[in-house]
A = this chain, B = another copy of it.
Amino acid sequence: MVDRSTQARPVGRKDARRNYERLLTTARTAFAEHGVGASLNDIARTAGVGNVTLYRHFPTRQALLEALLGESLRGLKARSDELLASPSPHQALATWLTAAVEHAMAYRGLVDALVESLADPTSELHATCQAVKAAGAQLLTRAQHTGTIRPDIDASALFSLIASVAWAAERSPAHRDQLLAVMFDGLHRRVDERA
C-alpha cells in the first residue's frame, strides 16, 4: 500500500515545503469554519499562495483531507487493537463506535467525503477509510462470536451505520447520544432471538 501522505509532503525546495505547511494550516482553519466544502481558491489566497500551488500539492479536496486527518483516522486502527485486548467484546465495540462517530464529525460535511472515498479506489482517502473499516471489522467479528451482536451485519454495513449516525448527529447534536444508543441497541442480538 502506498502512503500517499508521505509521498505528497515535499522534500525539495524550501519554498515548496513552506507553501505545503501554510496550505495545511490554512485549510484546517477554513474547514473548521466553513466545513469541508470551503472554497479552495480562498484557502490558497489566504495562505498567500497561487491556486495552482494548492492543486499541485493536493490534486483533490480529498487529498487535502487525507493530509489533515489521515493520522487521526488511522488512530482508530490503533484504538481498535487496544480494545481487542479488553475483557468485554461487546463494550469494546460500543466504545470504538463512539470514537469512530466522533472522528467522522471532525469537520462539517466530512462524513460525506469519507463515504465517498470508501466507494472510490482512486481517492486519496480511500486507503485510510478502508483501514477504519478494517479496524471496525475486528471488533465486530469478535463481538459477534460471543453472540451479543447480530450476525447479519458485516464491516461495510457497520461503516454505513457509523456514517449515518455521524451525519445525523452533525445536524442535530442534541440527539447524538440517542442516535448512538439506538444504533448500538439495534446491533444487539435480542435475548428472545438467541439460538
**Using a CB–CB distance below 8 Å, which chain A residues touch chain B?**
115, 119, 150, 152-153, 156-157, 160-161, 163-165, 167-168, 171-172, 175, 178-179, 181-188, 190-192
Q: Which of A168, A171, A190, A192 has the most CB of B within 10 A?
A: A168
Main secondary structure of the interface of A (DSSP, over half): helix
Given contacts A185-B186, A186-B184, whether A168 and B178 have CB atoms under 8 Å apart is no
A137 to B161 CA separation, bound complex (whole angstroms): 24
The residue in chain B whose Cβ has the minimal distance to the Cβ of A159 is B172
- Contact A178-B152, Cβ < 8 Å, known A160-B172, A171-B119, A185-B185: yes
Residues of B within 8 A of A171 (CB): 115, 119, 160, 163
| Nearest B residue (CB) for A182 | B186
In Å, the complex CA distance between A131 and B24 comes to 45
- Of the candidates B150, B167, B185, which one forms a contact with A164 in the assembled complex, judged by CB atoms under 8 Å apart? B167
Q: Decide: B186 and A157 in contact? CB cutoff 8 A.
A: no
Q: Which residue of B lies closest to A172 (CB)?
A: B160
Question: Given contacts A156-B172, A164-B164, A165-B164, are A190 and B185 in contact (CB under 8 A)?
Answer: yes
Q: Which of B150, B182, B187 contacts A161 (CB 8 A)?
A: B182
A115 contacts which chain B residues (CB < 8 A)? Answer: 171
A175 touches B163 (CB 8 A): no
Report how far A160 CA is from B179 CA in the complex, Å.
Answer: 8
* Min CB gap A39→B, angstroms: 17
Q: Is the CB of B153 within 8 A of A164?
A: no
